[in-house]
Structure formats: structure tokens, C-alpha cells
């Protein structure tokens, strides 16, 4: 999410959420170069919740159809055979990592967690995002207008909230 804010572009934030979580969970505090001030998560189930609708093993056409439902990738890209062939292995790897990651140990982090979600996100709604609170003693959550890629459609509001959280 931070790379999204700095560059004014939004990448697929959910998979970065799990990656960020995994780094903080598996890297001892004293081994990190800087302490974690706050973990901000968006559009992703909590790490102990299995993916209910995995798509990583679907046929290429079904996989692309499912990706199009997220409304985060322009149809010009999804309809370009060369681009799709080039990025398909990367997309599958990204989704495979996210969908197969399920945390067994529910250990709290020493930093606060703040969750963002889109009001009309069918992948991670408020109830899903609220489940992140078991991983910290300080939790906050905020809803934004939009679907799964609310970070794009509500960018100014998201940037304002990120800045507020970092004050």
C-alpha cells in the first residue's frame, strides 16, 4: 500500500498485505533495520483465514475471467494475448502465494494494525478486515467508497488516512 501512495499508482494490494504480514511475523524485532510503526492492511483476509474461492488453479481463460471481476486491470491488457502470456506465470505465482498462505499460530505483533476496505468489496468486506484485530492490542479500521480496488477510486481519501495514521 505504501508503494501505491508514493507513486500515485496502485498495485495489487492484497498480496502485498500477506507479504508484509509474513515479513513482520517471521522477522524478529531485533533483526529488522527499523521497528514497525504500524501495519496497514487492505483488501485481504486475515492470515489465519483460508481463501474461500481460490482461482490460482483455474484454466487460463477462467483465471483471466476471475481477475477481470476485480476491476483492477484494464480490459485492453486482459485482451492482449502477448501481454497476458508474458504476465500469466507471474499472476499465477502471486495468486498461488496469497491463496495458499494460512497462518497456524495467532501471535500478536508489537505494532498497531490499521485496516482499510472498500464498501463494496466482495473479496474482503468489513467483517473480513475486522478479523485482523486478533494480531495486535491496537487496531483500527476504515471503510472507503469503492470495490476491491478502492485505493484507486478513493485515492485522495486513502492518502489522507495513511498520512493521518503516520502522524
CB 152 within 8 Å of CB 70? no
Q: How many CA atoms lie within 13 A of 63 on its CB side?
A: 18
Round to whole Å and give the CA distance between 49 and 47: 6
Owning domain of residue 8: 1-50+107-167
Residues 167 and 113 in one domain: yes
Q: Which pLDDT does position 12 carry in this prediction?
A: 41
111 and 74 both lie in a single domain: no
Could you give the count of Cα atoms lying within 13 Å of 36 in the half-sphere of its Cβ? 22
Q: What is the pTM assigned to this prediction?
A: 0.76
State the sign of the Cα–Cα–Cα–Cα dihedral 17, 18, 19, 25.
positive
pLDDT bin (cut points 50, 70, 90) of residue 33 is: low
Number of CB atoms found within 10 A of residue 86's CB: 10
Say whether both 111 and 155 belong to one domain: yes
Amino acid at each position: 500500500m505504501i508503494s501505491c501512495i508514493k507513486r500515485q499508482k496502485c498495485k495489487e494490494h492484497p498480496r502485498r498485505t500477506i507479504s508484509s504480514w509474513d515479513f513482520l511475523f517471521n522477522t524478529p524485532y531485533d533483526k529488522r533495520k527499523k521497528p514497525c510503526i504500524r501495519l496497514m492492511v487492505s483488501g485481504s483476509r486475515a492470515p489465519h483465514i483460508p481463501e474461500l474461492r481460490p482461482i490460482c488453479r483455474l484454466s487460463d481463460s477462467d483465471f483471466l475471467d476471475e481477475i477481470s471481476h476485480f476491476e483492477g486491470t484494464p480490459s485492453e491488457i486482459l485482451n492482449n494475448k502477448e501481454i497476458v502470456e508474458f504476465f500469466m506465470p507471474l499472476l499465477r505465482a502471486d495468486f498461488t502465494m496469497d491463496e495458499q498462505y494460512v497462518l497456524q499460530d495467532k501471535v500478536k505483533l508489537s505494532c498497531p494494525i490499521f485496516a482499510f476496505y472498500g464498501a463494496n468489496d466482495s473479496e474482503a468486506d468489513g467483517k473480513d478486515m475486522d478479523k485482523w484485530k486478533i494480531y495486535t492490542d491496537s487496531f483500527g479500521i476504515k471503510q472507503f467508497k469503492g470495490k476491491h480496488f478502492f485505493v484507486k477510486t478513493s485515492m485522495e481519501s486513502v492518502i489522507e488516512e495513511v498520512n493521518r495514521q503516520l502522524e
